[in-house]
Structure 1
Amino acid sequence: MKINWKVRINNPQFWITVGLSIITPLFAYYGITGADLTTWSSVRTLLVNAASNPYVIALMAVSTYNAVLDPTTASLSDSSRALRYKKPKRDDL
């Protein structure tokens, strides 16, 4: 699996997608809204509960895997063009 990690790691959009791929399954599984996480102890409790639940960990892993994949390619790797990028490609309008 060839992925241009250097470009992805330096792209804020990648981190937003990965963050959401971890947070969304947590909120969905536990039925949480932002209003439920008003103290650090509630955040800690959520993280401890999630870490001890194999199903939630699997949900987060699958979601993160999907966030890393490039759906525009036929394989699990980036395209040969994307592998040559030095920075994320921008479409200038």
Structure 2
Amino acid sequence: MKFKKSYLKNELDLPYSAMVDEITDTSRWSIHHKIVFEHEGKFYQTHYSEGATEMQDESPWDGQTEVDCVEVELKDVVVKKWVPKKI
């Protein structure tokens, strides 16, 4: 689903009001985020990036008029990982 950038920023106050805001990657100039937000009882996920320093002039969804979002749902997920063995 596509949302207008102006709607996300002005009406929903995103990315600041997002339920989840996770940093997914960093580069020399940018910090990349994944967010989840609610809209009319449904939940959506999208990405944005912002400048890594105060000198970088980059804000969420620069250069975009519409933002691609995917409807998501919350599910329990089992994850296996290697941990130190207790002796």
Scaled to the shorter chain, the TM-score interval is under 0.3
- The structure whose RCO (Cα within 8 Å, separation 6+) is larger is 1
More helix by share: 1
Give the TM-score, by structure 2 length: 0.24
More strand by share: 2
TM-score by length of 1: 0.23
